Amino acid sequence: MSQIDWLSQLLQLITITGQLEVRCAYGAPWRLTWGRAAANEIPYHVIVKGRAILENPETRTARELVSGDIVLLPHGAAHVLHDGSGQTPIRTHESVGSAGWMLSENDGQGEQLDLMCGRFFIAPPHDRLIRNYMPVELVARAMNSNGEDETGSASNQLASLVRLMRMESASDRAGGRAILDALSSALFTLVLRSASEAEKAPEGLLALAGHPRLAPALAVMFADPARSWKLPDLAEMCGMSRATFMRHFQDRLGCSALDLLTDLRMSLAANELKKPAISTEAVAETVGYQSVSAFRRVFTERMGMTPGEWRRVAHKGE
């Protein structure tokens, strides 16, 4: 099973939608500040042209972003984008198009920036799955170091997608909002694909997907989380001893294979509990539990509420 398969399984398990919110056309000096996002939101930024410095006030880290870079903040961290000059930013002026997104401009004469900003929305309670297994910052590049598309790669696909988003956001045509939202949703998937294919994948699920020996275990757990997977079976599938498998898995993910499997089962259970005709006992069996009391205990520990409480919350939100 390929890397794309595990990613498809993840996106069948959780519902993610995207939305472009603002396009920025600035000349230096400029500065943008975002507070911490809501629990079910992931901010994203696309550097269409120019460069920017991304700062995380909590970790006191900074990194340069250049043309073609796409950054996601899966943990919703507060952050700042600026031109790096340290000068007082020029006042901006905003206008809103019929499609609903905002155009923010300034009259700066310095280095020019074309930036698209938006966010992804994760249907609860799956935001915890993303935050637990994705890095704080995730950067993918839509072009290679020469500024050219990498034919046949996820980077090439990202470059094409960004061009479509740029063209659509530059016009004010019928259906623009729906098209931009759909392209934003595709952006999430392509960024994860690109990151998992990178030479040095970031930590978490992407590191597992990019590891040729561990990827098979990741794929089968996503494909059939209800199955009673045993560590020796997963290790054998990866061509490792049990101890070696456990060590490598823990190093890359930060938790054990059984922890991940449990979280996948609870996310699957949360989806099943939304169906009024299915009992809690049936849901427990569906996700691999023979004891409904054990299922209730684990669900409550992982989700912060009982299956019955989650069912009521889910129905109220629909």
Number of CB atoms found within 10 A of residue 174's CB: 10
Cα–Cα distance measured from residue 281 to residue 170, given in angstroms and rounded to the nearest whole number: 52
Q: How confident is the model at residue 309 (pLDDT cuts 50, 70, 90)?
A: very high
Please tell me the predicted confidence (pLDDT) of residue 1.
41
Q: Is the separation of the CB atoms in 72 and 42 below 8 Å? A: yes
Average pLDDT over residues 40-56: 96
- Among candidate residues 194, 195, 161, the one with its CA nearest the CA of residue 180: 161
Residue 176 confidence class, pLDDT cut points 50, 70, 90: confident
Looking only at the bridges linking them, the beta strands covering 41-49 and 112-122 are antiparallel
**CA–CA distance, 73 with 91 (Å, rounded to integer):** 26
* Over residues 157-182, mean pLDDT: 86
Mean pLDDT of 103-108: 95
Please answer whether residues 184 and 18 qualify as being in contact, where contact means their C-beta atoms are separated by less than 8 angstroms: yes
Torsion sign across C-alpha atoms 25, 16, 74, 224: negative
Residue 274 has pLDDT above 60, yes or no: yes
**pLDDT score for 109:** 93
Residue 146 has pLDDT above 70, yes or no: no
Q: How confident is the model at residue 235 (pLDDT cuts 50, 70, 90)?
A: very high
Outline where DSSP puts E strands in the chain: 16-27, 31-34, 41-49, 51-56, 61-66, 69-72, 79-82, 92-96, 102-106, 112-122, 138-141
Higher pLDDT, 168 or 70: 70
Residue 81: helix, strand or coil by DSSP? strand
Sign of torsion, CA 175 181 184 185? negative
From the CB of residue 269, how many other CB atoms can be counted at a distance below 10 Å?
Answer: 25
pLDDT interval class at 152 (50, 70, 90): low
- Domains of the chain, start order: 3-198 (2.60.120.10), 211-317 (1.10.10.60)
E strand or H helix at 167: helix 154-169
CA distance 280 to 293: 10
CA distance 52 to 63: 8
* Percentage above 90 pLDDT, the chain: 69
Residue reference for tokens 């960004």: 162
Is residue 274 a contact partner of residue 123, using CB atoms and an 8 Å limit? no
Distance from C-alpha of 22 to C-alpha of 295, rounded to nearest angstrom? 43
Q: Are 63 and 47 a contacting pair, CB within 8 Å? A: no
Place of tokens 């206008």: 95
Q: Quick one: CA torsion of 247, 250, 252, 257, rounded to 10 degrees?
A: 110
Beta carbons of 288 and 295 less than 8 angstroms apart: no
Share of the chain above pLDDT 70, in %: 94
Structure confidence by residue, pLDDT tens digits, 185-212: 999 999 998 888 877 767 789 888 888 8
For residue 145, what pLDDT is reported? Answer: 45
